[in-house]
Structure 1
Amino acid sequence: MSTSGRKPGKLVADKRYGRPTTTKKKKPAAKKPAPRRKPVKRKTTRKRNPIAAFFIGIFRWIWRLVWRTTVFASLVMAMVIGTAVFYVRSGLPDVSELVDGRARGSVTLLDRDGAVYARRGDQYGGAVNAETVSPHLRNAIVATEDKRFYSHFGISPRGVASAVRINMSEGRGPLSGHGGSTLTQQTAKLLCLGVVFDPADWKNEAEYVADCRRGSLSRKIKEAIYAMAMESKYTKNEILSIYMNRAYMGGGAYGAEAAAKRYFNKTAAVLTPAESAMIAGLLTAPTRMAPTANLKRSQDRAATVLRLMNEQGLLSDEETRHYQRNPATLAAEATMSAGGYFADWVMRSGPEFFTRDTTEDVLIRTTLDPRLQAATAAAVEQVFAEKVRKGSKAEVAVVVMSADGAVRAMIGGRDTDASGLFNRASQAVRQTGSAFKPFIYATALELGYGPLDTVLDEPFCMNIPGSGEWCPKNYTKKFKGRVTLTDALKHSLNIPAVKISESVGRELVMRVARDFGIHRDLQNTPAMALGTSEATLLEMTGAYAGILNGGSSVTPYGLTELRLRGDDTPLMGAGGGIGERVIQPRAAGELIWMMEKVVSEGTGARARLGNRPAAGKTGTSQEARDAWFVGFTADYVAGVWMGYDDNTPLSGVTGGGLPAEIWREVMVRVHDGLPITPLPAQAPVAPAPEPEPQPAPQVDNRRDDSRPNKKVRDSILNQVLRDILGGN
């Protein structure tokens, strides 16, 4: 192709790849001068002190050794703890086996109407579940005992550190005082770390519990392991359930259900926030904080628990203010304390395996009448407040029973509603004094004597083999001459009582007294007629009940039915009542007539009940150490004893004084509203006057004077008997 006359065109490739290269060389750009480097200062190595270097090296070596040892020990410790936790976990039983932690059962006592009036033993209301109880109770326990319960793994390092700090700041040892235990650890302690009470291994239950509560370092470590094992096997609610069922909550109540019934007479499922706070507040000191011991203190503690619940968001401000202003109060049943002595007596007299040593929950129905018990206590308190000098240590006992021996009320001391104390009604064995004399006259009446027969009250002495001459005296030191048996009893004359006892035979008098219920060793001496033998007030009252019921023996009783809780079939019935006949109804009726004269005309005048007939007998032992009045109406028998526990003589007190007044005050209240009923007395028939002697028909004038006729012979025999008795 010709290219002449024009310039050649540019190639496309030139446009594509940029400007074409030319053969002309470009002038190289001038180089920038390199920046000047600062002269590097060479580090001059300082020569280290060889001694310092030695010690620093030693320190670093020790530090590395300690660190490695700590890490290794921690790993080993973790393995040991893990192994221990796994081992303990493998031995943990099912939750259902851990809810009831009592070593023995409970006894609930019901009065004659079926109402609860006393409890003995460890009360357990039944198993509860953390998910079914009142949520307020669950929240109150967590807020009070362990607010981080649902977040920790059984132990709380923060809680332990805080407890140690508090203990040290208060001048105690690190493990003394605050323990920093979680709720799980407290549950482990309640379980005694799995150790079950065995009577063969422990002296008693108290020693076992004390060992479970020890706070040594080794015990704390075991407790922590057991708590972690529980956390690994049980859920949080299961652990809380065990705690709520086993914790002691005062008043003999173990567990939330028992506490709810004990204090509020309701189930744990329906507790209000105020009631829940009160129960949760008991856990720190259940005996001291129990509302039955001090309601105000328990309410103050509950107010603190409500505040804790509010701070943790478990209760609103409005609810907190409302329940703090309106604290929980006790149910009426919780404040009942009447019948403590009676309950103690029933527990002692009942079968041991169902009362004191029961492993079951037992219900006992008794003869106690709450109205009569309250009336008796009020009477005793009134007389002591009005008639007994301030500061006197004199004690009192009162028993009220029906004619069949059913005990309706019992006071065993001036602290009328106490329990667990010495019961002077059933345990104090004291000299009976003249209260014993009715058994002498009962014997005489049974042998055919009459209330209007006479005996000579005059100075009298008799020779006692081995003791010499004995000359009894009357209390007044005076003599009344010829008196009827009735007068001798109503004036409590000693000499006629001794003469009658000796004439009918002491052995027979002792037999009658024993058959009526005086079971103690009776002194077979002439002084027995003056009441030198001993008996309890319960025995004496039961013996007088035998006179009232027509002459049959009586065994005082308080238990009418015993059964296990939840079982409708009774295991046993009444343990007493009327027994065999001792004297005939005629003799009993005549004796009642004579004893009525004691109250209406004699030494028991202060016991008069107005228009209501009453009978009884006073008694004062040697040197006035004991003062008695035992008597009855047609409805009830009652006995009163006064004296000092140390046998100090009473000052100015006889059976016809304060004991008779207490008896009257008791019986007035006991018979309130009851119709007046006559006594079952039998008045004696006055002897018919002897007819004028009629001349015998004259058969012949001969008469054998060597033999007296029958009338004369009987007269001679009667004269011999009268000479023995001193009568006519």
Structure 2
Amino acid sequence: MTVGRQNPGPRNINRRRGKSPLKIVAITSICLAVAALLALGGYLFYLMATLPKVDRLADYKPPIVSQVFGDDGSLVGEFYLERRTVVPVEKLPRRLVQAFVSAEDSNFYQHKGLDYVGIVRAAVKNLISLRKKEGASTITQQVAKSMLLTPEKSYTRKLKEAVLAKRMEERLSKDDILYIYLNQIYLGAGSYGVQVAAETYFGKNVEQLNLAEMAMLAGLPKAPNAYSPIKHLDRARERQAYVLERMVKEGYVTQAEADHARATPIVIQSMKKVNSEQSAYFLEHIRIALEDRYGEEQLYKEGLRIYTTMNAEMQKAAYEAVVNGLKNVDKRQGFRGATAYLAEAAVAAVCDKVEDGIDTVSLKQGATYQGVVTAVDPVRGDVTVRVGDRTGTLSRKNMAWAGKVQLVNAWGKQEVKGKFLSLGSVILVSVVTPDADKKGAVFALDQEPEAQAAVVALDPLSGAVKAMVGGYDFRKSQFNRALQAKRNPGSAFKPLIYAAALDKGITPATIFDDSPVEYESGKEKAWKPKNYDNIYRGNVTMREALTNSINVVSVKILEQIGVDYAIEYAKKLGITSPLSANLTLALGSSSLTPLELTSAYAVFASGGYRTTPYFVTRVEDAEGRTLEETAPPVIPRFSVMTSAESSPLEASPAPPATAGDSASTAVPVIAPETAYIMTNLMESVVQSGTGQRARAVGRPVAGKTGTTNDMKDAWFVGYIPQLVAGVWVGYDQERSLGAGGSGGQAAAPIWTEFMRRAVAGIPSRDFETPPNVTFATINPRTGRLAREGSDGAVQECFIAGTEPTAYDGESSEDGVP
């Protein structure tokens, strides 16, 4: 019998492997779910542990504006990261609160941080529309996001926001949350919080708003720029209507009140304050100094109150004088043509950019805008110019300064020789007559100057800087030419040489020979100083030499008193820049800043005292505690110091100008007699010399022009007893100012325009004569005493004891003075 292996039958493979696939999947899923829950729990635990504390919101202290005030207490500027003024909760109008609640969170007073009904409603609407049409964030959530979280868009942030909102509702009252929200929220146009928004859009404090204005503000949070009343008043009104409708539905106002609010005219106007553009250089100078002293945190976030020496009206006058003066200088050089030539299709895009900066009501008279030529009438000589969404006419008469300009009735740049305007020409125009209904304006052709200018004005008795402009446009160049540009002053330096000569015994009647002279210079050619007008007058007095700015005589005076002596004397007057140790110093060959030279002239105006220029008088913190203060110096009417007692070699150097010092100083550096005689000499410059344009100020004025070689720099520095000001004009990259570029033609008109406006409220005063100054009648051709009735005799002033003693034809032991 054969024995073989038995057949075991079918094998159960699944049983041998132990478990079915279904069970394996189930177990794995459970494990993964448990792991996910543990991970989520861990994450939530970590998230909760790392959330910021909401307790600090109970002591809400947002970044607030540091305010800058002028010498009369008026607001002249602000420093901030976020422009915000906090309003106490008791000053928030009830209906303003209701307007925001109606628009942003109608269930605010019912929910505990999260509006579940609102979440469901928003979800349904968004699902139906297949896009995010409505949000569901409560006011509490918005505060949480704004104050405690970053603005990132993520599920993590939304989760944090929800948890924090719940916690806030547990620790803060509803009023506390609204107080934070209404002071924190961004409402467009650089405005944070309802107070600044009320100022920006309606020129009011928040408690002065009417219902129409409140509703318009409450419509802004959804999209501040899209619903801006300044840019899009029609959209803002649509949003206002929505807010009023919500207020009616919530029972906050009646339908009649809402209808009345809709019909109420909206007047867009900002609260009046000094234009930051016109005071930008002044504010930037003190900002840099204060940031260095107090740090960014305190300056930009803690609401400092900064009191300055700026006089708002003088600052405005200085800015406008620079703008007008530079335009006049530039126009004398001719029209440079359009800045660009556009194809017809490109006009709309360019004009849309301009539109954002235009007032909703009308173009501003006197303002300058960029425009595009859209129509040309070669026969009448007129062109139509589009400025933003406005149009106006530029006539041949209003472009006369540009000379003969060809008008081309075709688009884009044409192959035309000479000056021309074609369709699509991009030009600057100033508004002669504002528009009505966005059309019908009258324009004049304008042009942005290429030259620059600086103005600085200060009180000679204290050193307080009353106005400062450092250039044509701060937005395009922050370089402050009043403080930082070192340029040759030309003949404007001569008064410093003449003052030194007075203390060396030279008098206004001293005779000098105005004839050509030659000096060895150590080079192949000798140096031959020339007079500006190439005229040589023979014997002239010191007064005539300064009045007519005679170069040769100025060099001879410097040669007589000594270069080293003159340099030390200039340092005594406040000059800190290095000075050329040669005779070219008499012609202003050494570079100075406008503030340096103006401060030196202030010594003459103050009766011989050198003061330290300063810009800040006091700084207070938000609680009113004084952090620093500068007391102005007290200067006596006349010092007892005489010329003999003042030694330039012993004088200390002038301290530099600062943004604010603990004490301002006034140091007597020259005798009052010397200061007065220099003033008297410079009055002649204004009355009959190179500075005659300054006579238009209509009161006693002393001053001096300055023009450098090839008219690269033009200066005028002058003063009345209460105010001294200096003006410089030139190109940053040195080149000739061209026709009309002398100090008398380019700088003096700016000085005069500024001074006429600046001193309008200041009583007219004569320069006071010190007791030790005497007057005598002299013959200006000889410098000797003139007998009564002599032809050409003039009154001259002298320090007592230095006047001539001999008449013409008589001998004198001392010789001719």
Work out whether the TM-score is over 0.5: yes
Query: Which residue of structure 2 lines up, in the alignment, with residue 530 of structure 1?
Result: 587
Query: Which residue of structure 2 lines up, in the alignment, with residue 581 of structure 1?
Result: 668
Residue among 487, 492, 500 paired with 1:443 = 500
The Cα shift of 1:398 comes to 2.3
Instruction: Report the Cα distance in structure 2 between the residues aligned to 1:289 and 1:680, rounded to whole angstroms.
Output: 63
1:15-164 equivalences under 5 Å are 79=41, 83=45, 86-88=48-50, 91-97=53-59, 99-102=60-63, 106-122=65-81, 123-126=83-86, 128-129=88-89, 133-146=92-105, 151=111, 153=114
Query: Which residue of structure 2 lines up, in the alignment, with residue 343 of structure 1?
Result: 283
Residue among 468, 471, 489 paired with 1:410 = 468
Contact 2:558 2:586 in 1 (8 A): yes
Query: Which residue of structure 1 lines up, in the alignment, with residue 243 of structure 2?
Result: 309
| Residue-pair matches, total | 610
Instruction: Report the Cα distance in structure 2 between the residues aligned to 1:684 and 1:289, rounded to whole angstroms.
Output: 71
Instruction: Report the Cα distance in structure 1 between the residues aligned to 2:170 and 2:25, rounded to whole angstroms.
Output: 36
Contact 1:282 1:290 in 2 (8 A): yes
Tell which deviates more after alignment, 240-249 or 510-519: 240-249
Instruction: Report the Cα distance in structure 1 between the residues aligned to 2:227 and 2:616, rounded to whole angstroms.
Output: 30
**Alpha-carbon spacing, 1:393–1:386, altered in 2? closer, same or farther (3 Å):** closer
Query: Which residue of structure 2 lines up, in the alignment, with residue 191 of structure 1?
Result: 147
Instruction: Report the Cα distance in structure 1 between the residues aligned to 2:284 and 2:99, rounded to whole angstroms.
Output: 36
Residue among 182, 201, 208 paired with 1:244 = 182
Contact 2:54 2:164 in 1 (8 A): no
Contact 1:85 1:229 in 2 (8 A): no
Question: Which runs of 5 or more residues in structure 2 are unaligned?
Answer: 1-19, 332-445, 632-660, 774-795
**Alpha-carbon spacing, 1:145–1:393, altered in 2? closer, same or farther (3 Å):** farther
Tell which deviates more after alignment, 572-581 or 433-442: 572-581
1:380-409 CA deviation, whole Å, 9 max, x = no partner?
455556664142322332233322222323
1:293-349 CA deviation, whole Å, 9 max, x = no partner?
xx6327556424422312323555444444444225446435755634333333345
Instruction: Report the Cα distance in structure 2 between the residues aligned to 1:132 and 1:78, rounded to whole angstroms.
Output: 45
The amino acid that maps onto 2:315 is: Q
1:692-725 CA deviation, whole Å, 9 max, x = no partner?
789xxxxxxxxxxxxxxx96xx77xx9xxxxxxx
The Cα shift of 1:248 comes to 4.2
Contact 1:167 1:178 in 2 (8 A): no
The Cα shift of 1:480 comes to 2.7
Query: Which residue of structure 1 lines up, in the alignment, with residue 743 of structure 2?
Result: 655
Contact 1:344 1:419 in 2 (8 A): no
Instruction: Report the Cα distance in structure 1 between the residues aligned to 2:129 and 2:582, rounded to whole angstroms.
Output: 71
Instruction: Report the Cα distance in structure 1 between the residues aligned to 2:238 and 2:147, rounded to whole angstroms.
Output: 28
Instruction: Report the Cα distance in structure 2 between the residues aligned to 1:334 and 1:322, rounded to whole angstroms.
Output: 31
Contact 2:697 2:755 in 1 (8 A): no
Instruction: Report the Cα distance in structure 1 between the residues aligned to 2:36 and 2:666, rounded to whole angstroms.
Output: 79
The Cα shift of 1:672 comes to 2.9
Which has the larger share of helix? 1
Query: Which residue of structure 2 lines up, in the alignment, with residue 702 of structure 1?
Result: none
**Alpha-carbon spacing, 1:351–1:316, altered in 2? closer, same or farther (3 Å):** same
Query: Which residue of structure 2 lines up, in the alignment, with residue 14 of structure 1?
Result: none
The amino acid that maps onto 1:630 is: V
**Alpha-carbon spacing, 1:163–1:599, altered in 2? closer, same or farther (3 Å):** farther
1:697-708 equivalences under 5 Å are none
The amino acid that maps onto 1:373 is: Q
Contact 1:89 1:233 in 2 (8 A): no
**Alpha-carbon spacing, 1:89–1:120, altered in 2? closer, same or farther (3 Å):** closer
1:474-514 CA deviation, whole Å, 9 max, x = no partner?
22233333322222222222222222223322233222222
How high is the TM-score relative to the length of structure 1? Answer: 0.71
The Cα shift of 1:580 comes to 1.1
Tell which deviates more after alignment, 541-550 or 221-230: 221-230
The Cα shift of 1:438 comes to 1.0
Query: Which residue of structure 1 lines up, in the alignment, with residue 558 of structure 2?
Result: 501
The amino acid that maps onto 1:581 is: P
1:1-33 CA deviation, whole Å, 9 max, x = no partner?
xxxxxxxxxxxxxxxxxxxxxxxxxxxxxxxxx
Query: Which residue of structure 2 lines up, in the alignment, with residue 689 of structure 1?
Result: 806
Instruction: Report the Cα distance in structure 2 between the residues aligned to 1:693 and 1:564, rounded to whole angstroms.
Output: 73
Instruction: Report the Cα distance in structure 1 between the residues aligned to 2:484 and 2:234, rounded to whole angstroms.
Output: 41
Residue among 273, 295, 303 paired with 2:211 = 273
The amino acid that maps onto 1:546 is: V
Contact 1:277 1:303 in 2 (8 A): no
1:525-674 equivalences under 5 Å are 525-567=582-624, 569=626, 571-574=628-631, 575=661, 579-609=666-696, 611-652=698-739, 653-672=741-760, 674=762
The amino acid that maps onto 1:296 is: I
**Alpha-carbon spacing, 1:691–1:625, altered in 2? closer, same or farther (3 Å):** closer
Contact 2:65 2:304 in 1 (8 A): yes
The amino acid that maps onto 1:101 is: P
Contact 1:455 1:483 in 2 (8 A): yes
The amino acid that maps onto 2:144 is: A
The amino acid that maps onto 1:396 is: A
Which has the larger share of strand? 2
Contact 2:218 2:240 in 1 (8 A): no
**Alpha-carbon spacing, 1:655–1:567, altered in 2? closer, same or farther (3 Å):** same
**Alpha-carbon spacing, 1:125–1:623, altered in 2? closer, same or farther (3 Å):** same
| Identity rate, percent | 33
The amino acid that maps onto 2:62 is: G
Query: Which residue of structure 2 lines up, in the alignment, with residue 423 of structure 1?
Result: 480
Tell which deviates more after alignment, 241-250 or 397-406: 241-250
Question: Which runs of 5 or more residues in structure 1 are unaligned?
Answer: 1-57, 194-211, 695-709, 719-727
**Alpha-carbon spacing, 1:413–1:273, altered in 2? closer, same or farther (3 Å):** farther
The Cα shift of 1:585 comes to 1.1
Contact 2:452 2:732 in 1 (8 A): yes
Instruction: Report the Cα distance in structure 1 between the residues aligned to 2:480 and 2:236, rounded to whole angstroms.
Output: 36
Specify the SS of the correspondent of 2:55.
coil
Contact 1:543 1:554 in 2 (8 A): no
The Cα shift of 1:94 comes to 3.8
Contact 1:606 1:656 in 2 (8 A): yes
1:477-516 equivalences under 5 Å are 477-516=534-573
The Cα shift of 1:420 comes to 9.3
The Cα shift of 1:660 comes to 1.1
1:259-294 CA deviation, whole Å, 9 max, x = no partner?
5567667654554334434544554676x6898xxx
The Cα shift of 1:626 comes to 1.9
1:606-657 CA deviation, whole Å, 9 max, x = no partner?
2213752211111123432221111112332222222223334312211100
Alpha-carbon RMSD: 4.3
Contact 1:299 1:328 in 2 (8 A): no
The Cα shift of 1:667 comes to 2.1
